[in-house]
Structure 1
Amino acid sequence: MTARIHIVGIGDDGLDGLTGQARNLIDQATVLVGPTQLLEKVPASDAKRIVVGSNLEQLQQSIRDLGDQPAVVLAGGDPLFYGIARYLTETFGKDRFDVVPHVSSMQLAFARVKESWDDAYLTNLATQSLDRVVDNIRTAERVGIFTTEDISPSVVAEALLDRRIDYFTAYVCEDLGTPDETVTQGDLTSIRGQSFGVMNVMVLVRKSGAADRPSGSANRRLFGNPDDLFLQSRPKRGLLTPAEVRCIALSELDLTPQSTVWDVGAGCGSLAIEAASIATQGKVYAIEMDAEDYGLMIENAKMFDVPSLIPVHGQAPEAWKDLPDPDAIFVGGTGRVVPDLVSAAVPRLAQGGRIVVNVSSPDNLVSVQNVLSTAGLVHDVRMINISRGQYQMERVRFESLNPTFLVLGRKSK
């Protein structure tokens, strides 16, 4: 039977930070495999030492050359957290290895700044592009980054500031677990001008109440623009109609360049702005009662340059009493008021016009369908389930958006 290999995590503090089990495995090992900086943390012994660097093919060959010899592979921190354990178990099979983790430097970093990391965006710039990481940081609450010698904390700060992402407090944690441990705190502007050692973890914490900045991309689609192109109020993030749902809703509204449109409960204006990009010779009335969202809508409209959009600050149905009858109505929002808004809006809909109502609860779905049926509209419904790919820990996983319903109605000519 092939001897088992122990993958033992070791920190910057060397043997002093290890459990008794981990120290015994290292003391009894006949072969030690690992990078030079970790092997140097282990006192001289009779064990044969095999030096392997970051070359995975070299590591793979070294494991093959062991044959039936029992061995200990030294890895930094937690070998299963951006470490080599996953690579080895996937290459040679899980039955060949036992893993003895150390505290990850990422875990130590979050402990030092006293922030939870259970919902943080965690990444390693050795395996992920800086552009992709910056796009993911834009909408995160907390971020943990393994930086590299070339992509240092100052480079990360520069990249974020270049994209107007300035709403994080930054911590750079160096030499964690050692007597030389240092934690530097500052805003991104101050971090940009500093130099740090190679052994560091960067933690970013969003400032309270900060709104997401749009990505600033020069490319604008007619509709279906990415969600992060729009300024959003942070406490209400997720209420914006997702890009995929916007595409379906706009297609069902059957807009023309001359359409008159109402967007009831427009929020930060994502759907109204894209409707105005289509109805360039018509009018799109974006009705929103929340003052903060109304302000964000105006800022978003300026960025997209949609002169046919007319923001309306007020509460429906009073807010639309002086507006022209629409060819198309979109109603978004939550709560029991939605069916009542639909009931009040339908009589104003032009003959042959369409209404699309976005609801998230089955109760509202049934209520809105009843309203449309009572009003004599031809109606239908779509249930939309969307999952988006998320790249984290060197793999893609799918993050599901909340399921939503689009209730469709058409007023006969």
Structure 2
Amino acid sequence: MTGLTGMTGVTSISVVGTGTGAPLEPAALRLLDAATLVVGGRRHLDAAAQLCTRVEQVEQVVLGPLAPALETIAKHLAAAASGDCGHSGDPGDSGDSEERARVVVLASGDPGFFGIVRALAERFGADALDVRPGVSSVATAFARAGLPWDDAVVVSAHGRELRTAVNVCRAHPKTAILTGPGAGPAELGAELVHRAANRTLVVASSLGDPEHERIERVTPAQAAERDWGPAVSVVLCLDEARTLSPVRTVAGPRPTPGRWALDEDEFGHRDSMITKFEVRALALARLGPRLGDFVWDVGAGSGSVAVECARFGAAVVAVEKTGDGIERIRANAAAHGVDVRTVHGSAPTVLSHLADPDAVFIGGGGAELPSIVKVCARRARRTVVVALAALDRVPAVRGALAEAGFLCDGVLLQSSRLAPLPGDVTRLAATNPVFVLWGDRPTTPLQEGAVE
């Protein structure tokens, strides 16, 4: 690879992805042989030393916390630039000190995929890096499972809240989770066992190790019962009925819908008991459903809001007190090809068993509406949106949102739709006015738009 100009005038840092256990290529060994500083995990350094004796003769940094390692690299490069390399070069080396500064960073898999390349590029600039990728653990795991992965969503739970990975697993049929302490197969299984029990977990451990590699297919319940140890490389979460999608043009999750606020006739509903598309359009804009989110649709009726949130990639639960409503929601979700979990019961009582949502839509509740809003506002992480027809209940809803610390706003939606008249003429047909109120939890600038 041709060196690019970096902070020292040459490519300063070579980043070598070790893949999933494959021997280092000759080009990587040559980099190690010329290195003046080698950075990597203990196992990477030990393995490299067995193949290249020079590794033990130069300065090493064992990766743990990232900040100290980056600081050591910076000092090493600065010393080289000042002519005080702080290392022993080859006796016959007549090049200047900048040319003799060679940092090699050893990393697992593909270091540009949820790896150290991001931190190095932010600190030293992308043009200071010579990246030699290996095969990522995700690609290897899908290969072992015999599945394509251009339609997979990849989520890192390493050092992050597990809830985002859980929500993606619930909403998407093919997900790869990069695990970490406290966020392994057991914890993932425990979260999914009551929320997505139909998923299969493929646990890939010690990938690339010919003696210890294991690929195990388990249910969430089985995963929750095991102590998996530290050898887990990656977990695949699959809806086995939908592991093979049609041919893709764009990789990753399914594209966001080209249309939303769908017409009422695109959902099954009873006696026009459905959130009208004008109301849904505003509600969706305020809810902001997205991949990794968890949304409640309370008093879901036909489930039109729940289905539309799921089409944007959110994990959704629809709460409905009528049995025929539950069946209707399930039918609508199936018709639109999305996962919506249904909960049969009356709010706010049944809400106590649900995980905390990012956003909540409340489209029903009757006399219990203020108490439902109060419970939802207490638990929602981001937003609560309420649609109601009764003017008398507006103050109580606003009060419940404000009491929970939300910033409140709202509108009265009054719309008239084009309707045909005899004689090939058109009139305006007014729909019932609806109040749409919403509350947003205050955020700092750094939190806005953040997805864990």
TM, length-normalised to structure 1 = 0.55
In structure 1, stretches of 5+ residues that fail to align are 211-226, 228-232, 234-239, 252-265, 273-284, 309-327, 329-352, 358-367, 381-394, 400-413
CA 1:141–1:24 in structure 2 vs 1: closer, same or farther (change >3 Å)?
same
Give 1:39 shift. Answer: 0.4
Give 1:110 shift. Answer: 1.1
* Partner SS for 1:74: strand
* Partner SS for 2:53: coil
* Partner SS for 2:106: strand
**Are the counterparts in 2 of residues 32 and 73 from structure 1 also a CA contact under 8 Å?**
yes
* Partner SS for 1:65: helix
Give 1:206 shift. Answer: 1.1
Give 1:298 shift. Answer: 12
**Are the counterparts in 2 of residues 52 and 58 from structure 1 also a CA contact under 8 Å?**
no
CA 1:299–1:166 in structure 2 vs 1: closer, same or farther (change >3 Å)?
closer
Give 1:135 shift. Answer: 1.9
Give 1:189 shift. Answer: 1.2
Residues 150-161 of structure 1: pairs in structure 2 closer than 5 A: 150-161=182-193
* Partner SS for 2:217: strand
CA 1:199–1:32 in structure 2 vs 1: closer, same or farther (change >3 Å)?
same
* In structure 1, C-alpha distance between the alignment counterparts of 2:47 and 2:448, rounded to whole Å: 35
Matched, 1:190 2:222: yes
Q: 1:31 aligns with which of 21, 34, 37?
A: 37
* In structure 2, C-alpha distance between the alignment counterparts of 1:124 and 1:206, rounded to whole Å: 19
Matched, 1:203 2:236: yes
Matched, 1:108 2:140: yes
Give the partner amino acid of 1:46.
R
Q: Once the two structures are superposed, what CA deviation does each residue of 1:116-157 show, in whole Å capped at 9, x if it has no partner?
A: 222322112123211222122210111111111332211110
Give 1:84 shift. Answer: 0.6
Matched, 1:52 2:62: yes
CA 1:247–1:102 in structure 2 vs 1: closer, same or farther (change >3 Å)?
same
Matched, 1:144 2:144: no
CA 1:174–1:295 in structure 2 vs 1: closer, same or farther (change >3 Å)?
closer
CA 1:168–1:290 in structure 2 vs 1: closer, same or farther (change >3 Å)?
closer
* In structure 2, C-alpha distance between the alignment counterparts of 1:83 and 1:51, rounded to whole Å: 17
**Aligned position for 2:156:** 124
**Aligned position for 1:166:** 197
CA 1:139–1:242 in structure 2 vs 1: closer, same or farther (change >3 Å)?
farther
**Aligned position for 2:129:** 97
**Are the counterparts in 2 of residues 5 and 72 from structure 1 also a CA contact under 8 Å?**
yes
Residues 218-367 of structure 1: pairs in structure 2 closer than 5 A: 246=280, 248=282, 268-270=303-305, 292-293=331-332, 302=345
CA 1:289–1:301 in structure 2 vs 1: closer, same or farther (change >3 Å)?
closer
* In structure 2, C-alpha distance between the alignment counterparts of 1:89 and 1:45, rounded to whole Å: 29
**Aligned position for 2:71:** 61
**Aligned position for 2:13:** 5
Give 1:267 shift. Answer: 5.3
Say which is worse superposed, 127-136 or 150-159, in terms of deviation: 127-136
**Aligned position for 1:73:** 105
**Are the counterparts in 2 of residues 13 and 177 from structure 1 also a CA contact under 8 Å?**
yes
What is the number of residues matched between the two proteins? 275
Q: Once the two structures are superposed, what CA deviation does each residue of 1:78-115 show, in whole Å capped at 9, x if it has no partner?
A: 11111111111111111111100000111101111122
**Are the counterparts in 2 of residues 141 and 206 from structure 1 also a CA contact under 8 Å?**
yes
CA 1:123–1:271 in structure 2 vs 1: closer, same or farther (change >3 Å)?
closer
* In structure 2, C-alpha distance between the alignment counterparts of 1:160 and 1:377, rounded to whole Å: 49
Give the partner amino acid of 1:185.
R
* In structure 2, C-alpha distance between the alignment counterparts of 1:9 and 1:25, rounded to whole Å: 13
**Are the counterparts in 2 of residues 246 and 271 from structure 1 also a CA contact under 8 Å?**
no
CA 1:99–1:12 in structure 2 vs 1: closer, same or farther (change >3 Å)?
same
* In structure 2, C-alpha distance between the alignment counterparts of 1:369 and 1:74, rounded to whole Å: 68
* Partner SS for 1:118: coil
* In structure 1, C-alpha distance between the alignment counterparts of 2:206 and 2:275, rounded to whole Å: 44
* In structure 1, C-alpha distance between the alignment counterparts of 2:341 and 2:177, rounded to whole Å: 34
* In structure 1, C-alpha distance between the alignment counterparts of 2:176 and 2:276, rounded to whole Å: 26
Give 1:159 shift. Answer: 1.5
**Aligned position for 2:425:** 374
CA 1:244–1:192 in structure 2 vs 1: closer, same or farther (change >3 Å)?
farther
Give the partner amino acid of 2:118.
R
* In structure 2, C-alpha distance between the alignment counterparts of 1:38 and 1:355, rounded to whole Å: 65
**Are the counterparts in 1 of residues 415 and 430 from structure 2 also a CA contact under 8 Å?**
no
* In structure 1, C-alpha distance between the alignment counterparts of 2:202 and 2:65, rounded to whole Å: 30
Give the partner amino acid of 2:425.
T
Give 1:369 shift. Answer: 7.6
Q: Once the two structures are superposed, what CA deviation does each residue of 1:167-226 show, in whole Å capped at 9, x if it has no partner?
A: 21111001111112110111111111122231321111014279xxxxxxxxxxxxxxxx
* In structure 2, C-alpha distance between the alignment counterparts of 1:141 and 1:397, rounded to whole Å: 24
**Are the counterparts in 2 of residues 269 and 301 from structure 1 also a CA contact under 8 Å?**
no
* Partner SS for 2:200: strand
**Aligned position for 2:253:** none
CA 1:127–1:295 in structure 2 vs 1: closer, same or farther (change >3 Å)?
closer
**Aligned position for 2:28:** 22
RMSD over aligned CA atoms reads: 4.5
Give the partner amino acid of 1:168.
R
**Are the counterparts in 1 of residues 152 and 175 from structure 2 also a CA contact under 8 Å?**
yes
**Are the counterparts in 1 of residues 110 and 133 from structure 2 also a CA contact under 8 Å?**
yes
CA 1:244–1:151 in structure 2 vs 1: closer, same or farther (change >3 Å)?
farther
* In structure 1, C-alpha distance between the alignment counterparts of 2:76 and 2:38, rounded to whole Å: 11
**Are the counterparts in 2 of residues 30 and 46 from structure 1 also a CA contact under 8 Å?**
no
Give 1:289 shift. Answer: 9.2
